[in-house]
Structure 1
Amino acid sequence: MKTPLAASDPRSRHRLIALIAALVAIVVLAGIGVYGLLTGPPTSDRDPDHDGGTPSGPAVTTPGEPTPTWTPRLPEVEASDDPETFAGNVATALFAWDTASGLMPLDYSSVVLAVGDPSGAEQAGLASDVAAYLPSRDAWLELRQYATAQHLTIDNLFVPEAWGEAVEQAQPGQLAPGTVAYTIEGTRHRTGTWNDEQVTSEHAVAFTVFIVCGPTYDTCRLLRLSQLDNPLR
């Protein structure tokens, strides 16, 4: 003879399973809700280290990045057939960047590489030179938190004596006609925001740019850069 408990056992198990399933669903939904509150709305994936050049679309930001209030604009190296003028233009563009622009170091390096020797003979070396003047990707993202920007003021620009000695010792045909070096001495200025206050810093810098102008080219082109703070004298 079956007891009332035994008779209702299948239905009890069904109700118990249904109750457990409902509880699991509630827990899952609650978990999703909490996760959504912690992570915020989904954002589009973007590789910030794209292949250089001026972005064709609007800047994309991720949570924590300052949103640009203007259209990001890269500096330019103004063309010139005057060696001293061109050397100054290169130096100014090389040190001009803004982490709050939404751009990345590769964008800024592309500006300088665009005026490199069109023969391509020094392009790989020049790319390495320029990269050494810019913050790494990780350092850039760190500086972006403080909206750090930089520019250069040139205090002195001259052809170093060591370059004259190098020209004298060069083998025939080793240097293209119009090749010259200029050493730039200046001040690097940085600005940023710390605890909602504007902060600034200044640092003396010196470096040498190696360029080639006429008669090899109608306008001057950049060959290489010395190490920062290790210029020709």
Structure 2
Amino acid sequence: MKLPEFSAAFSRPKLLAGLAAGVALILLIIVGIYGLAAGPREPEPATPTTAETADPAPTAASEGTEQPEAEGDVRQPVVPPVEPSDDPEAFARNVATALFEWDTASGLMPLDYTSALLDVGDPTGAEQAGLASDVAAYLPTREAWTQLRQHSTRQHLSIDEAYVPKAWEEALEQAQPGQITEGTVAYTITGTRHRHGTWNDEPVTSEHEVSFTVFIVCAPAYETCHLLRFSELDNPLT
């Protein structure tokens, strides 16, 4: 028996105004929908995220002396941070893995997993609100999370392929100078989503093929790569 599924609406931002006349339709779609055009713009306020859940490390009273933990002190779970990288493909794989890897039995909530991805997002903050919306479309809602927790549902992604889609290469060729920030790149990811849980106290699993596109920005804009946006699930650039 398959585990309970979930669905969420994907919110697309409005097409950006001021695109140069004569730019091909594919560039209009990529730059407009995913908000990757460069140029002066006021950063959007970052979407509020959950506070750090880890307790600060105990401070020794003196050098070489460890302070014992207080009785009943319980460390709160935290989402592992996304591994940084200055290699575009490696970073695209890292954020794709983080997007799909969660465990409802961990004591964490969807916003905790969203926070980990926002932490490696656009440093200017301009894409943070859109990125938060993108991630929310991939994660279960709070209500669905509660139901999945009853089955101890956890999920991870196995990646089959990561490649720069032809549509993105064409967009870069047709873009006007300065229209797309240098170092911005798209990677289309294909793979399998795996879910594990229990049903009537019996272990159950489900698998589902997925595809999507990750938009990131790396050198020369930044020394390390940063996450901009995700495409709609199963509607990648090709």
Same fold by TM-score greater than 0.5: yes
Q: What residue in structure 1 maps to residue 50 of structure 2?
A: 52
State whether residues 54 and 75 of structure 2, in contact with CA within 8 Å, keep that contact through their aligned partners in structure 1. no
Q: Which has the higher contact order (CA 8 A, sep 6+)?
A: 2
Give the TM-score taking structure 1 as reference length. Answer: 0.71
* Letter paired with 2:209: A
Q: What residue in structure 2 maps to residue 194 of structure 1?
A: 199
CA distance in 2, matches of 1:111, 1:52: 10
Runs of 4+ deviating beyond 4 Å? none
Count of residue correspondences = 173
Q: What residue in structure 1 maps to residue 164 of structure 2?
A: 159
More helix by share: 1
Q: What residue in structure 2 maps to residue 64 of structure 1?
A: none
* Cα 1:101–1:54 shift into 2, 3 Å: farther
CA distance in 1, matches of 2:78, 2:214: 24
Q: What residue in structure 2 maps to residue 105 of structure 1?
A: 110
Q: What residue in structure 2 maps to residue 33 of structure 1?
A: none
- What is the CA-CA distance between 1:54 and the residue it aligns to? 4.0
Task: Report the 3-state secondary structure (helix = DSSP H, G, I; strand = E; otherwise coil) of the residue aligned with 1:205.
Answer: strand
Q: What residue in structure 2 maps to residue 7 of structure 1?
A: none
Give the CA RMSD over aligned residues: 1.7
Bigger Cα Rg? 1
* Letter paired with 2:147: E
Give the TM-score taking structure 2 as reference length. Answer: 0.70
Task: Report the 3-state secondary structure (helix = DSSP H, G, I; strand = E; otherwise coil) of the residue aligned with 2:146.
Answer: helix
Task: Report the 3-state secondary structure (helix = DSSP H, G, I; strand = E; otherwise coil) of the residue aligned with 2:171.
Answer: helix
State whether residues 198 and 204 of structure 2, in contact with CA within 8 Å, keep that contact through their aligned partners in structure 1. yes
Q: How does 1:180-191 map to 2 (within 5 A)?
A: 180-191=185-196
Q: What residue in structure 2 maps to residue 128 of structure 1?
A: 133
Q: How does 1:150-229 map to 2 (within 5 A)?
A: 150-229=155-234
* Letter paired with 2:136: A
State whether residues 75 and 96 of structure 1, in contact with CA within 8 Å, keep that contact through their aligned partners in structure 2. no
Unaligned runs of 5+ in 1: 1-49, 58-68
- What is the CA-CA distance between 1:168 and the residue it aligns to? 1.7
- What is the CA-CA distance between 1:169 and the residue it aligns to? 2.1
- What is the CA-CA distance between 1:72 and the residue it aligns to? 2.4
Alignment of 1:117 with 2:107, yes or no, is no
State whether residues 77 and 107 of structure 2, in contact with CA within 8 Å, keep that contact through their aligned partners in structure 1. yes
State whether residues 213 and 219 of structure 1, in contact with CA within 8 Å, keep that contact through their aligned partners in structure 2. yes
Deviations 1:21-56 (A, max 9, x none): xxxxxxxxxxxxxxxxxxxxxxxxxxxxx9424423
What is the identity percentage for the equivalent residue pairs of Structure 1 and Structure 2? 70
